Structure 1
Amino acid sequence: MRTFLRVALCIVLAGQGAASWAQDDALLMRGKYLMEGVVACANCHIARDDKGQPLFDKGLSGGMFFDDAAFKAYAPNITPDPETGIGKWTDAQLAKAIREGIRPDGTLIGPPMPVPFYRNLSDSDLAAIIAYLKAQPAIKHQVKKSSYNIPLPPNYGPPVAHVDLPATTNTLKYGEYLANIGHCMDCHTPRNNKGMLVTARLGAGGQVIKWPAGGEAVTPNLTPDESGLKSWSDAQIARAIRDGVDKSGTHLKRIMAFDWYQNIDDSDMKALITYLRSLKPEPFAYAK
């Protein structure tokens, strides 16, 4: 009888271990899909050569320079290197940095980190992204500190306690969620003379963004206006997002993260496009 109980207990514990491993694997796979798809953190944090081409072998070791009138910013190393990256950060500290823009030492992370949009990350997706980051190879790369010519806010809002993942069956709501965590509107919404997003004109485009490797891009209108996506088919929108080729066949500049957006699956792409088509039509807002 005792032998039977010991065997039964071992089977139960083995089952619990298998379930835990399966959960961990599912979490990592979700993190991989998000990071290598719509969230596309590597678009800023991957190391690049002097022509702006990704150096995939150097991973998320950072260093990309953003030259703006308001700041001189360098994308930090977010590999698990303990000295130059996030190797000593706990899961809770990483969560606070990503979703609230606060480092473990209490300092605020400034732009171009799109913290106001990352505040929408669900608890489960945040955990998945952290699992992915911790699973990356640690790469030693000391990155310069960013400097700002504008005062940073004291914070980006109150602490984020809990965020649910919207049901994927609610296509519009889930599409809005994907657009938020992909921070689409951070680039595709006009800004005022203080650098603040003009949210009343959400998606109207017109920002002039300097590409770190040289040149600049003017962000297009994503609303269903005549100057935006009104005449575009779903296939044309998907092609622009995934392949970086617009309706006319023009190749978009690589400030657009299509190297990663190409991995967005069909279901999520449909949700994203549904959300874009739901925006209030706004005329193109050219920043200049």
Structure 2
Amino acid sequence: MVNSNMRLLMSSSTNKFENFLLALIGLVLAFIFYVYFRSDSELYKVYDVAIESIELHSNPDIVAEGERLSRIRGCFWCHGQSLEGQQYFAKADRGLIVVAPNLTRKVIEYTPSEFARAVRHGVKRDGTSVQPAMPSFAFYNMSDADMGAIIAYIQSLPVQQGFEGEFRLMPIGWFRWVTGQFPPNAADLIDHAALRPDPSPNGGMVARGRYLAESICTECHGVNGRLRVPNSPDLAIAAAYSRDDFHRLMRTGVSLGERAIDYHMVDVSKYRYIEFRDDEIDALHTYFRSLVGLPPETAVK
């Protein structure tokens, strides 16, 4: 009788443990499915953004300007030396694989207007967002003329074999996405109805500088850009530079007093901003001085 009771007690305890274990496994599986489906649904959210017409001109001067603008805006950094695409981030412990797409193929697959929407609005042909690393929040401010020149340049290039674009979350990446450890979709960072700054040099130095700053510098220094480069200073700090010192910063990455600065600025100065014309650097300097109420230091030379 005692043995029988003991067996019943042990059996009951075993059943309770098994039930607890099954419930725990169920909760873990439910959590895994939740983070997967939430990250998947957010990544592949569809955006309703109208396509804007882009007028293209393929004369040699515009194609050459498109190449210069492509270098200033860093297309070659992420998409490869021939814009063939490249894998630029793949770490299992971070739960992420990122491959920048082959632009020499995308420019054929997309109409010019679709390509412009992908660049400036962060919305692909299928209505989903481009990769979070794409700084469309800055490129949104790019003018039709500049966007058209870049497209004309990429269209002029030979088609490369290259890579398909990919932004793939691995299991740990699902958790990091739903807990906000990755930047959101590029398309979520943009006010798609906002007015763009005036790009015309005829609008004055301040207006021209504002256009360049908002379509280029905000990639790192804007509110949205700080998702990518957290320690970027307020652009108004450039007002402390003399014209010559600011030109040196933009050409060489050497800061005022040669103090240490973020390597991003050093690199973009040497490899991207070297393509700026002197009048564009003057316009930027004038705009940054205007942010703190200072007049232009000198006229454009």
TM-score band, normalised by shorter chain:
0.5 to 0.7
Alignment counterpart, residue 86 of structure 2, candidates 52, 58, 62: 62
Tell me the equivalent position of 1:268. Answer: 280
Alignment counterpart, residue 150 of structure 2, candidates 109, 129, 149: 129
Gaps of 5+ in 2: 1-56, 170-176, 294-301
Of residues 23-32 and 173-182 in structure 1, the stretch that sits farther from structure 2 once superposed is 23-32
Is the 8 Å Cα contact of residues 80 and 138 (structure 1) preserved in structure 2? Answer: yes
Tell me the equivalent position of 2:208. Answer: 174
Tell me the equivalent position of 2:79. Answer: 45
Tell me the equivalent position of 2:66. Answer: 31
Residues 1:222 and 2:235 aligned together: yes
Q: TM-score, normalised by structure 1?
A: 0.63
Q: Compared with structure 1, are the counterparts of its residues 30 and 61 closer, same or farther at alpha carbon in structure 2 (3 Å cutoff)?
A: same
Q: How does 1:81-160 map to 2 (within 5 A)?
A: 81=105, 85-143=106-164, 145-147=166-168, 149=177, 150=180, 152=185, 156-158=190-192
**Alpha-carbon distance between aligned partners in 2 of 1:260 and 1:153, rounded to the nearest angstrom:** 22
**Alpha-carbon distance between aligned partners in 1 of 2:158 and 2:213, rounded to the nearest angstrom:** 28
Deviations 1:22-61 (CA, angstroms, capped at 9, x unpaired): 9622321221221123x23223333xxxxxxxxx4x4452
**Alpha-carbon distance between aligned partners in 2 of 1:61 and 1:153, rounded to the nearest angstrom:** 18
Q: Per-residue deviation at 1:74?
A: 2.7
Q: Compared with structure 1, are the counterparts of its residues 92 and 221 closer, same or farther at alpha carbon in structure 2 (3 Å cutoff)?
A: closer
Is the 8 Å Cα contact of residues 40 and 261 (structure 1) preserved in structure 2? Answer: no
- Higher helix fraction: Structure 1 or Structure 2? 2
Secondary structure in structure 2 of the residue aligned to 1:107: coil
Deviations 1:42-98 (CA, angstroms, capped at 9, x unpaired): 23333xxxxxxxxx4x4452322288x9994635124313xxx54322212111111
**Alpha-carbon distance between aligned partners in 1 of 2:207 and 2:163, rounded to the nearest angstrom:** 40
Q: Compared with structure 1, are the counterparts of its residues 89 and 63 closer, same or farther at alpha carbon in structure 2 (3 Å cutoff)?
A: same
**Alpha-carbon distance between aligned partners in 2 of 1:72 and 1:255, rounded to the nearest angstrom:** 22
Is the 8 Å Cα contact of residues 209 and 285 (structure 2) preserved in structure 1? Answer: yes
Tell me the equivalent position of 1:202. Answer: none
Q: Compared with structure 1, are the counterparts of its residues 73 and 178 closer, same or farther at alpha carbon in structure 2 (3 Å cutoff)?
A: farther
- Greater Cα radius of gyration, structure 1 or 2: 2
Q: Among all aligned residue pairs of Structure 1 and Structure 2, give the percentage whose two residues are the same amino acid.
A: 24
**Alpha-carbon distance between aligned partners in 2 of 1:208 and 1:164, rounded to the nearest angstrom:** 26
**Alpha-carbon distance between aligned partners in 2 of 1:273 and 1:71, rounded to the nearest angstrom:** 41
Q: Work out the number of aligned pairs and report it.
A: 221
Is the 8 Å Cα contact of residues 63 and 143 (structure 1) preserved in structure 2? Answer: no
Tell me the equivalent position of 2:4. Answer: none
**Alpha-carbon distance between aligned partners in 2 of 1:123 and 1:175, rounded to the nearest angstrom:** 17
Deviations 1:117-137 (CA, angstroms, capped at 9, x unpaired): 222211111111111111223
